[in-house]
Every structure is written in C-alpha cells, then in structure tokens.
C-alpha cells in the first residue's frame, strides 16, 4: 500500500529545522554621553496672599501679575507666559472657612541670561521666585544628541566586534534600539523673602553650567555557526 503526503507536509519535511536558520544570537548594550551647554533658562515667579474676601484677593493678585507681565514684556529677549493659578480656603478649628489663599505664577524663559537675571531682580520687588531651571535649548540638545548617538553606535560596534573576536566567529548586527535622555541640573528653589523684597532690584545670580545628553543602545548580534 502506497502512502501519499500532502504537499504542505512534504514541504515541511524538506525545509531545514528552525535551529539551522541562524547562528548564535547575543544581546549586548552600549552607551555614551555628550555635554550640552545650558543656554536656556526658565524662571517661575509668583504672587501669593491670603485674606477673608476672595474677590478682593483676586483683584490684588491679578493686579500684581498684570504689572509684572508689563515689566516682563518690556524685556524683548524674554518669553513670558502665565503659569499655574490656584485659590483654596483656610479652615479654622470650627471647620468653617476663615480665609482664602491665592497664588498665581508667571513663567519667564530666555537664552539671554543677563536680561533674564535683570528682569527677575526687578520682579523680586513685588514677587517671589519659585524656581530657576537651566537646560539646553532644543537645537543645542539635538547637536549634543547627534554626537552621543555616533559615540554610542561606535561603542556598540566595538563591543560586537570584541564578542565575535573572543568567540572566533564573524557577526552581523540583527537589531538595535536607541534611547536618549538628558540629565539636567535640578531647578534652584527659592522662597519669597518677605521684608527683603524691599531691597531693590539686584540682578539674580545665574550659573547655567552644562547638562549631559546620554544615549543607550540595546541590541542583538548574530554569530555565524
């Protein structure tokens, strides 16, 4: 009695086993970093007050912020935008509202550190400074990222070549995943200085420094059997 194999089954028998399709696979990783100048600064200033009448409180805070906005707009090299605004009640022991507290922020951003420093100094006469953060501008970060990518790829290739050399086998890169991140300086935090605000408008000291743009590569190489 003759046995016939269906065509799909016959083809399966003729194909090599999956284990022979490729050589040994090895997962490897490499990383590199490149410095980027912190040529962009972002300062957050705020007005904050409390009182029994929320409408009067809003007029007071809004007036301070409007005045600050006009001063800020006179510095053409500084970008100005509204930040967070919040109003919340203060409760007494009886559980009733005794007062209201309001806070409103203004965010200032510039690549001209001197102009921003001068402006923040002026605004400190009536506002508090919540934080100042330094970071690379987008184009500065991109340039540093490109350099870090080149260095990381070179490190990945070097590591792949070393693995192949140690095992005595040629290799090819099968897969790569490139990830980037930046380590910025943490924001400098401030508090409203109360009576010290009466001291006039000394420029705010600013030391921008550098950030590190880091690139990490995870990938796989295939070694010939």
Each residue of 47-88: pLDDT tens digit?
A: 999 999 989 999 999 999 999 999 998 888 899 999 999 999
Confidence of residue 95 (pLDDT cuts 50, 70, 90): confident
- What confidence score (pLDDT) does residue 18 get? 44
93 alpha-carbon distance from chain centroid:
42
Between 194 and 96, the more confident residue is 96
Record the tokens describing residue 71, joined without a space: 């001063």
- What confidence score (pLDDT) does residue 187 get? 62
- Strand-by-strand arrangement of the 40-51 sheet: 79-91, 97-110, 40-51, 128-135, 188-189
Between 10 and 55, the more confident residue is 55
* Closest alpha carbon to 202 in 111, 123, 109, 110: 123
pLDDT, tens only, 109-122: 999 999 999 999 99
State how far the Cα of 52 lies from the Cα of 89, in Å rounded to an integer: 9
- What confidence score (pLDDT) does residue 175 get? 93
- Other CB atoms within 10 Å distance of the CB of residue 45: 26
* Closest alpha carbon to 47 in 161, 127, 147, 138: 127
Confidence of residue 185 (pLDDT cuts 50, 70, 90): low
Q: What are the angstrom distances between the C-alpha of 39 and each of 112, 114, 184?
A: 8, 12, 12
- What confidence score (pLDDT) does residue 57 get? 93
Record the tokens describing residue 140, joined without a space: 């500065």
Contacts of residue 121, defined as CB under 8 A and 6 or more positions apart, other chains included, come to 201, 202, 203, 204
Polymer length of the chain: 225
Average the pLDDT over each of 8-22, 109-123, 146-160 and give the range with the smallest value.
8-22
């Amino acid at each position: 009695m003759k046995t016939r194999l269906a065509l799909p089954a016959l083809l399966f028998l003729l194909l090599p086993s999956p284990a022979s399709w490729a050589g040994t696979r090895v997962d490897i990783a490499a990383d590199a970093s490149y410095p980027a100048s912190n040529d962009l600064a972002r300062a957050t200033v705020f007005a904050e007050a409390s009182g029994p009448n929320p409408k009067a409180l809003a007029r007071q805070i809004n007036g301070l912020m409007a005045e600050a906005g006009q001063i800020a707009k006179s510095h053409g090299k500084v970008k100005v935008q509204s930040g967070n605004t919040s109003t919340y009640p203060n409760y007494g022991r009886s559980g009733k509202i005794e007062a209201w507290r309001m806070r409103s922020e203004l965010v200032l951003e510039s690549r001209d550190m001197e102009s921003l420093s001068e402006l923040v100094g002026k605004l400190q006469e009536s506002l508090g400074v919540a934080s100042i953060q330094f970071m690379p501008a987008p184009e500065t970060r991109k340039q540093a990222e490109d350099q870090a990518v080149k260095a990381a790829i070179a490190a990945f290739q070097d590591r792949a070549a070393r693995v192949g050399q140690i095992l005595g086998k040629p290799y090819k890169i099968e897969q790569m995943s490139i990830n980037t991140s930046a380590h910025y300086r943490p924001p400098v935090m401030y508090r409203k200085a109360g009576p010290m605000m009466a001291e006039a408008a000394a420029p705010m000291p600013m030391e921008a420094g550098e950030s590190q743009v880091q690139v990490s590569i995870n990938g796989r190489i295939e070694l010939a059997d």
